[in-house]
């Protein structure tokens, strides 16, 4: 199993464990909420029983005990009404208008408060007969005041229960936000570290190339002075210039390059000149360039590097034999380039992995070519590169999109 397969498996395992933990957390929390709701129903049953017994109490009944049970409810909102939805008593509701401390009965409330409580009762009952609701809805309890005369107690969940029922979801949202912040912080730190490594490695490479390039230039001048065949010194000079170009490219990685107005088709053709003389004669390169050559802000040397990398990758994917088709075009505010080969193709699961550092399907190589390509296109040119399509055994198409100048 490769490193990216292990990473993918690790992510799936992490997501599975997280999902299981969240489900367990919600189940436990909901269980606690249900238990509290059950206790409130039991308390209201006791409260209703005390109310019924108080209504039927004779002289010898322990009225103070019953009154004590009734007065202990200071958290659960309760309405007592007759069968016609006329409210007789209320308790523990937060009213829209402040009430005088001396107000004790429903009749003494302001009209706005009375309308508010009536609306709450009707909403809770949904307009159905209270006698029917007391048999089907646990929030309605029928109390017999005296023979064949009934009142109905309607109660709602307490503020504490409502808050607790929301608490698991609030905590879950906080956990997700916190996890997202941590994830973004880790990704940002990792990317910043990669940027420092890229910049340091690139500039050190450019620095190390500087000395042998200068030495080769001096030796070539010496060979020219010793009457060596011009075709030999000319080829050496071409390779020295090539090394100088490579050193210049590395020096630009890690710092913001200066972008200049270039014409896309012209730049694409120029970037392929070097590769055409250095790839197998069994590889055909077809150019389908748009008639309108749009201007683009480019770092010429870096963009040529991109095209060389994509072309070389295509040649490797085809095993040195096949056809590469390069197409350009425009679309709204952007221009695009597509590089299509007839190689072995890429599995869909690896469409994004091919741009990751170290990813390679070749026995030799560092797996950094496409990583550099992605960095040059997206970080330095504000564009986008991706695998447009690929089919195993038939080939792959890479697409580059750049903002039009």
Q: What is the pLDDT of residues 222-270, one digit of tens each?
A: 788 887 788 888 888 888 877 887 777 777 676 677 888 888 888 888 8
In three state form, how does the secondary structure of 148-163 look? Answer: CEEEEEEECCCHHHHH
- For residue 392, give Cα distances in angstroms to 4, 66, 315, 344: 19, 82, 16, 6
143: alpha, beta or left? (left if phi > 0; alpha if psi -120 to 50): beta
| Residue 296 phi, psi (nearest 5) | -140, 145
Output the pTM of the full model.
0.52
Tokens of 363: 């026995």
Q: Which residue has the tokens 């389908």?
A: 288
What local confidence, expressed as pLDDT, does residue 396 receive? 93
Cα–Cα dist 2/353, whole Å: 11
Per-residue pLDDT of the chain (405 residues; tens, 9 = 90+): 455 566 667 667 877 887 787 788 778 888 888 888 888 778 777 777 777 666 655 555 554 655 566 566 777 888 888 888 888 888 888 888 887 665 567 878 888 888 888 888 888 888 788 787 778 788 888 887 777 778 888 888 877 777 877 877 887 788 778 878 887 887 788 777 776 776 676 676 776 777 788 888 888 887 888 877 888 888 888 888 778 877 777 776 766 778 888 888 888 888 888 777 777 778 888 989 888 777 888 888 888 888 988 998 888 888 888 999 999 988 888 899 999 999 899 888 888 888 877 666 665 555 567 888 888 898 888 899 999 999 998 999 999 999 987
* 259: exposed, middle or buried (Cβ count in 10 Å: 0-12, 13-18, 19+): middle
């Amino acid at each position: 199993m490769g490193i990216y397969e292990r990473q993918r498996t690790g992510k799936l395992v992490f997501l599975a464990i997280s999902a299981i933990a969240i489900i367990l957390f919600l189940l436990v929390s909901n269980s606690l909420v249900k238990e509290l709701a059950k206790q409130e129903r039991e308390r209201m049953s006791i409260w209703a029983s005390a109310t019924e017994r108080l209504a039927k109490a004779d002289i010898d009944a322990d009225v103070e005990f019953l009154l004590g049970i009734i007065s202990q409810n200071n958290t659960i909102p309760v309405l007592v009404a007759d069968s016609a939805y006329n409210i007789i008593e209320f308790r523990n509701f937060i009213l829209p208008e402040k009430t005088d401390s001396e107000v004790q009965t429903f009749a003494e409330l302001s009209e706005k408060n009375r309308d508010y409580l009536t609306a709450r009762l009707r909403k809770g009952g949904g307009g159905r007969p209270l006698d029917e609701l007391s048999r089907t809805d646990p929030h309605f309890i029928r109390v017999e005041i005296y023979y064949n005369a009934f009142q109905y107690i309607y109660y709602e969940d307490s503020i504490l229960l409502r808050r607790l029922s929301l608490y698991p979801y609030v905590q879950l949202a906080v956990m997700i936000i916190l996890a997202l912040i941590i994830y973004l912080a880790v990704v940002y730190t990792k990317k910043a570290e990669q940027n420092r490594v890229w910049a340091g490695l690139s500039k050190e490479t450019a620095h190390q190339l500087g000395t042998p390039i200068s030495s080769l230039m001096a030796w070539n001048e010496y060979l020219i002075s010793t009457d060596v065949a011009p075709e030999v010194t000319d080829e050496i000079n071409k390779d020295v210039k090539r090394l100088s170009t490579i050193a210049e490219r590395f020096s630009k990685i890690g710092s913001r390059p200066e972008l200049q107005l270039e014409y896309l088709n012209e730049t694409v053709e120029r970037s392929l000149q070097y590769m055409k003389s250095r790839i197998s004669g069994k590889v055909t390169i077809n150019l389908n360039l748009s008639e309108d050559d749009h201007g683009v802000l480019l770092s010429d040397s870096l963009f040529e590097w991109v095209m060389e990398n994509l072309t070389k990758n295509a040649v490797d994917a085809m095993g040195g034999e096949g056809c590469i088709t390069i197409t350009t075009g425009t679309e709204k505010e952007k221009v695009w380039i597509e590089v299509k080969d007839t190689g072995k193709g890429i599995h869909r699961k690896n469409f994004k992995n091919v741009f990751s550092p170290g990813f390679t399907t070749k026995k030799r190589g560092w797996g950094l070519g496409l990583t550099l390509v992605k960095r040059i296109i997206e970080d330095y040119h504000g564009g986008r590169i991706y695998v447009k399509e690929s089919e195993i055994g038939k080939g792959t198409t890479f697409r580059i999109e750049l903002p039009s100048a």
